[in-house]
Chains A and B, each alone.
Chain A
């Protein structure tokens, strides 16, 4: 079983749609959960950072962590063509710097 699993997509949605992106993981030691956005030929850009379980909202983005199910989600409301990118989940455990990434989900929002 892979440590972090993420559906690679591509996911294609119309402008204005609600997008749901997900990752599952196997390591119960993970406590820190991040979502990054990566445009073509660019580095990962931090979108959301959460610790342990719960929800966090920032503008059109909501991150959810369910540690009991080892499942994290990123919701994008009112999606825009500029949201078209690859979305990477990443996570780490206490007392380690190492981020474990998912493979990324490619999202395309069409006008």
Chain B
């Protein structure tokens, strides 16, 4: 159950786009379309932003989008806003019927 690999931090200016990568293996990210992304502001509970690689829950801004290529999934946030500043985590279902998270990425809006 090794954690998925995410960059520790990313940053961008308001209005710009940023992308956070999430790299796993063929036993998790690459093997299933069950990648999800969570936003966690400091001191708060996580919130689902993307599920099943690219689907958005009701109420989540269409500025958030997800994709996957091979063993790497990506979260893109376009039109960056100050309120997007938070920690972001990817997650995947695995071949051993468990769930694995990435280490998290801190997004700073400059």
Partners in one complex: no
Residues of A that sit less than 8 Å from B by CB: none
